[in-house]
Amino acid sequence: MNKPQNTVICFGFGDSARALGKALKAKGWRVMATSRSQDTVDKLSADGVEGMLFADGLADQIPPGAHWLISTPPDEDGCPSFRLAGQAAKEAAWIGYLSTTGVYGDLDGGWAFEWSERHPQNPRSERRVIAEDQWRSVRADTNLFRLPGIYGPGRSALDRLKKGDTRRIVKPGQVFSRIMVSDIAGCAAAAIERDVKGEVLHPCDDLPAPPQDVITYAAELLGMDLPPETPFDESGLSEMGKQFYAECKRVSNARTKSLTGWRPKYPDYRAGLRSLLNLFEKP
């Protein structure tokens, strides 16, 4: 007897979900994904993905026993996917929600662990807390993937330098954790493979680092002159930019590694940027 085909449904099909879909499809999985645009739904079939319109009636299209990955950004009422499909969650084989390490707030450079308490300090992170609680309210075994700063093809310090729209903003003591987008998919795939459920997981690399160090290394790889240092107090950042620098933390991935067996392919920003370098030509 043939074994039933595994199915993953991606609620939202951004970079992280697309990377997971690609990885699972290579293993023979059926991949389904939502979009708010009918044109996009129609085009997904070209990539071998079954599209579903993100609209009323979505829950009725979801096959039972599928694995769910939710990446739709929350609004003031929480997770839009929860409102459309939460009533069908009990039929899922596995649920993963992509959240953010922003729910921990500012730790003044200290470590956030998977068991750390949540202290959101801005509206965006508060919305993530609402969304996390919504999914846990219908499925206590929902996995919460709390993501740090994400980079990857088209969205890295290399890209910003080439476009000329980046600065080395220096705030003493400031440090962030990061993750390559493909490593998010790798962590989620490992959690699915081991049937990890009901956990908080930290897909992040092994080297939290100051943002100016990342810019410096990227410039060295490209053979470009370094942008001048700009003190944070003189940066003139937007309110969103200020919120980004208002939080300083290091994110531990030790428990996540233990639970899933996952290891980041790019354990620090240097390895990640080197892997992206072949997408660029040096001046």
Tokens of 248: 């300083």
List, in order, residues 6 or more apart from 45 with CB less than 8 Å away: 51
The total of structural domains in the chain comes to 1
264: left (phi over 0), alpha (psi -120 to 50) or beta: beta
Output the pTM of the full model.
0.94
Supply the pLDDT for residue 281. Answer: 62
d(Cα 62, Cα 49) in Å, to the nearest integer? 14
In sequence order, what are the beta bridge partners of 98?
A: 145
Q: What is the largest CA-CA distance in the chain?
A: 68
The answer to whether 93 and 67 are in contact (CB under 8 A) is yes
Supply the pLDDT for residue 3. Answer: 67
pLDDT tens series, the chain, 283 aa: 456 789 999 999 999 999 999 999 999 999 999 999 999 999 998 888 999 999 999 999 999 999 999 999 999 999 999 999 999 999 999 999 999 999 999 999 999 999 999 999 999 999 999 999 999 999 999 999 999 999 999 999 999 999 887 888 888 899 999 999 999 999 999 999 999 999 999 999 999 999 999 999 999 999 999 888 888 887 777 777 777 788 999 999 999 999 999 999 999 999 999 999 988 765 4
Q: Is residue 1 part of a domain?
A: no
Q: Is residue 116 part of a domain?
A: yes
Q: Is residue 71 part of a domain?
A: yes
Judge residue 1's burial from the number of C-beta atoms within 10 Å of its C-beta, 0-12 exposed, 13-18 middle, 19 or more buried.
exposed
Q: Is residue 272 part of a domain?
A: yes
Supply the pLDDT for residue 147. Answer: 98
Q: Is residue 75 part of a domain?
A: yes
Q: Is residue 167 part of a domain?
A: yes
Supply the pLDDT for residue 233. Answer: 81
**Half-sphere exposure of 200 toward its Cβ, with a 13 Å CA cutoff?**
20
Q: Is residue 34 part of a domain?
A: yes
User: Which structural domain range is residue 91 located in?
Assistant: 7-279
CATH code, domain carrying 96: 3.40.50.720
Strand boundaries in 93-218, DSSP class E: 94-100, 111-112, 143-147, 149-151, 168-170, 178-180, 200-201
